[in-house]
Structure 1
Amino acid sequence: MPATTAARHILFLNWRDTRNPEGGGSEVYTERIAAELVARGHRVTLLCAAHDGAPAEQVLPTDVHVLRRGGRHTVYLRAALTYLAGGCRLGRLASGVRGRPDLIVDVCNGVPFLSPLYARCPTVVVVHHVHREQWPVVFGDWRGRFGWWLESRVAPRVYRRCRYVTVSGATRDELVRLGITGARISIIQNGLSRALDAPVRRATYPCLVVLGRLVPHKRVEHALDALAALAPDLPGLRLVVAGRGWWEPRLREHAARLGVAGRTEFAGYVSERRKHELLSRGWVALVPSLKEGWGLTIMEAAARGTPAVAFRSAGGVCDAIRDGETGLLADDPDDFVVKIRWLLTDERVRQQMGTAARAYAESFTWTAAGEQLAALVDGLLASDQRAP
């Protein structure tokens, strides 16, 4: 990969990293994009929350330098204090002092870092999706209202001079509705890591797969409800739920109430190899989330020739799924069951969509995403240098 013409220090702010038990697609995106910038000659530091079992400072194999500061709620303050403490405190790692950044990539997962309030360098804001629907689900009281006010009112004002990056047209449209001009928003879609191991055979029985964090807004209950609705007509039907999270006991209780606990496997955290094995064996991948910026698991399933079913209202999934071609979008829970039934019972359609999904997935690469972000970063840095 060609190195950038002017290597600079770039600081990513993200509340989690991929090693965090609560890490997900946003963290994968952040670290893969950061690695692409390193490959182009930039120095990159990622500041995120600390968590058990992870060192305070670490250099990843990609040469991205990770600083873990604060906790889930205090990482935002710690990011500001770390920046204001000066260059000697920002990233004293094996390769030496990295200094204050030339540019900040501020990843907003609902709660913004608000870096323009204290940083004196250009900021790129990354928003995977807007959390309007999620705030009342995660926090049903004043905290949800405060979070939405912070995201929808405060953040657009603080970042009013910044460039935005998002991963889908659906999120871009939502940002525009919050008052961010479309000219300031760039769409840089997810890439897809190529699996090195060969796919395994499909399961001989109808098998559904859900992959993701087990938290309320992922709505795995809809997958369990679909399993219960379809089981009488498909006696061999099973569901694998891969992932971990604090909502798992509630999901196990829900499965027991529906009488499908014996058909459901809660696989917990799975390795990359095991993940791709499950996606290869599954007949259909289910993404019942309330909201997704893109839906990385949809593309991971697609790479294995497995079509997905998601809810049309979930936003970015409408970009990740070509409805009726690479998978299906449902309008409501009943339609979700109907669409799953169709794919499970029509082998010809399922195989056609799986083949189209695999071809679609091959068009997304981290190299292309990195080139787009590098071009944006280089342009902002060049403009900053010319500014008086």
Structure 2
Amino acid sequence: MRILVLNWRDLAHPAAGGAEVYTEQVLRRWVAAGHEVTLFAAAVAGRPAVETVDGYRVIRAGSRFTVYREARRWWDRCGRGNFDVVIDETNTVPFMAHEWVDDGTRTVALVHQTCEEIWHHNAPPVVAHLGRLALEPRWLHRLAAAPVLAVSESTRDALARFGAQDVTVVPEGYEPPVLTKPVVKEERPTVVFCGRMVSYKRPWDVLRAVAIARRELPDLQLWMIGGGPLLNKLRAARPAGVEFFGRVSEGVKHDLMARAHVHVSTSVREGWGLVVTEAAALGTPTIAYDVPGLRDSTLAAGGVVVPPSPDALARWLSDLLPTWQQRPFAPVPFGGAHSWDDVATQLLSAVDEHARAA
């Protein structure tokens, strides 16, 4: 097939995240299988407007806010008649390709997560209320007219609340790291948190939960991995037993995660929660807040979900950590996710099925 993927970022973008890793892993496998693939994304400083990456073509134009307009303009100039299917990869704002792809080419949306509560953590109050109550509902109601692929049951359920009826769940993928030496768990009971130090990840909850749990486990230690705008404030308020590592290399991150006895995740919501998958593949179980996305990845990885409060997290840490310290958690194949080969195959099958049905 000739496939066009629309995503506001590609992997070269400085704000690239899990969705872009997913895209890159899938697209290079589709090219290797003989498909012709083009990715349209926003411009990146220092990178060309047209580039071949791992066999697929990347077209870059526009900014975070104008990439949607530029995609439509590019389609009018260069895209019409040259593709068999268009994938609208949605990161909060859809491209609405099903409304302007007008040459009979079939379209399908790919949604990693909805934003919803995250608006109130990432935007000023007026913008947050506008986005949460007006903009995102309007975008998703419009997107509901297209067939949609979602990367978790939670995302499917969220989309259904906005009117989507034709939603297929496709798997998340992960490639476990190859550790160069055996990992030995810490002697002290150890908790690890890995994520950006931003409001919607709720790192303050982690500090409070560990401080409470230390009343029963006085030698408990917490490792906080990740950079972000809250890092300095968190460091300044650091309670006993907490160490901040900031942003680290993948090798250091995997070593720390593997040596810990339990990983915690406290986000407001996620599309899946890839860090949970990473920890499980390294033999470290997760206690996570019972919220969309995290419940999917945590239960798939054999972890535990708890009510979203520091008190509940502290109780479960106190109860479970001594057990996991005595009987280490076995690594979970692919961390409860799928191999990228499997993801690429299943996603292409779902795209093809929707394209044929259109």
Q: TM-score, normalised by structure 1?
A: 0.81
C-alpha distance in structure 2 between counterparts of 1:258 and 1:196, whole Å: 33
Equivalent pair of 2:176/2:335 in contact (CA under 8 Å): no
Asked whether 1:157 is paired with 2:135, we answer no
Structure 1 residues 350 and 185: alpha-carbon distance in aligned structure 2, compared to 1, 3 A threshold: farther
| 1:157 Cα deviation after fit | 2.3
| 1:350 Cα deviation after fit | 5.7
Asked whether 1:115 is paired with 2:87, we answer no
| 1:159 Cα deviation after fit | 4.5
| 1:359 Cα deviation after fit | 4.5
C-alpha distance in structure 2 between counterparts of 1:271 and 1:70, whole Å: 30
Query: Paired residue for 1:84, among 57, 70, 76?
Result: 76
Counterpart of 1:208 in structure 2 is: 191
Counterpart of 1:346 in structure 2 is: 323
Query: Paired residue for 1:318, among 295, 317, 321?
Result: 295
Counterpart of 1:147 in structure 2 is: 131
* Amino acid in structure 2 at the alignment position of 1:44: V
C-alpha distance in structure 2 between counterparts of 1:180 and 1:15, whole Å: 22
C-alpha distance in structure 2 between counterparts of 1:194 and 1:279, whole Å: 13
Counterpart of 1:220 in structure 2 is: 203
C-alpha distance in structure 1 between counterparts of 2:200 and 2:281, whole Å: 25
Asked whether 1:300 is paired with 2:278, we answer yes
Counterpart of 2:245 in structure 1 is: 266
Query: Paired residue for 1:280, among 243, 258, 264?
Result: 258
Structure 1 residues 259 and 383: alpha-carbon distance in aligned structure 2, compared to 1, 3 A threshold: closer
C-alpha distance in structure 2 between counterparts of 1:273 and 1:55, whole Å: 30
Counterpart of 2:108 in structure 1 is: 124
Equivalent pair of 2:6/2:71 in contact (CA under 8 Å): yes
| 1:365 Cα deviation after fit | 1.5
Structure 1 residues 57 and 278: alpha-carbon distance in aligned structure 2, compared to 1, 3 A threshold: farther
Equivalent pair of 1:221/1:251 in contact (CA under 8 Å): no
Equivalent pair of 2:144/2:164 in contact (CA under 8 Å): no
Counterpart of 2:64 in structure 1 is: 72
C-alpha distance in structure 2 between counterparts of 1:349 and 1:204, whole Å: 10
| 1:155 Cα deviation after fit | 3.2
Asked whether 1:376 is paired with 2:350, we answer yes
Partner SS for 1:134: helix
Equivalent pair of 1:116/1:159 in contact (CA under 8 Å): no
Asked whether 1:20 is paired with 2:2, we answer no
% identical aligned pairs: 34
C-alpha distance in structure 1 between counterparts of 2:50 and 2:194, whole Å: 29
Counterpart of 1:252 in structure 2 is: 232
Q: Which moved more, 1:340-349 or 1:32-41?
A: 340-349
Partner SS for 2:263: strand
C-alpha distance in structure 2 between counterparts of 1:346 and 1:194, whole Å: 25
Q: Which moved more, 1:67-76 or 1:108-117?
A: 67-76
Partner SS for 1:193: coil
Map 1:19-58 onto structure 2 (within 5 A): 19-58=12-51
| 1:280 Cα deviation after fit | 1.2
Asked whether 1:238 is paired with 2:221, we answer yes
| 1:208 Cα deviation after fit | 2.3
Partner SS for 1:321: helix
Counterpart of 1:328 in structure 2 is: 304
Structure 1 residues 77 and 244: alpha-carbon distance in aligned structure 2, compared to 1, 3 A threshold: farther
C-alpha distance in structure 1 between counterparts of 2:99 and 2:336, whole Å: 40
* Amino acid in structure 2 at the alignment position of 1:219: R
Equivalent pair of 2:118/2:268 in contact (CA under 8 Å): yes
Aligned pair count reads 353
Structure 1 residues 57 and 212: alpha-carbon distance in aligned structure 2, compared to 1, 3 A threshold: farther
Q: What is the CA deviation profile of residues 280-324 of structure 1, one whole-angstrom value per residue up to 9, with x for unaligned ones?
A: 122211211100111111111111110011110x2122221228x
Structure 1, unmatched stretches of 5+, are 1-7, 91-98
Q: TM-score, normalised by structure 2?
A: 0.88
Structure 1 residues 202 and 115: alpha-carbon distance in aligned structure 2, compared to 1, 3 A threshold: same
Partner SS for 2:244: strand
* Amino acid in structure 2 at the alignment position of 1:242: I
Partner SS for 1:195: coil
Structure 1 residues 285 and 59: alpha-carbon distance in aligned structure 2, compared to 1, 3 A threshold: farther
C-alpha distance in structure 2 between counterparts of 1:179 and 1:362, whole Å: 29
Counterpart of 2:2 in structure 1 is: 9
* Amino acid in structure 1 at the alignment position of 2:346: Q
C-alpha distance in structure 2 between counterparts of 1:345 and 1:258, whole Å: 24
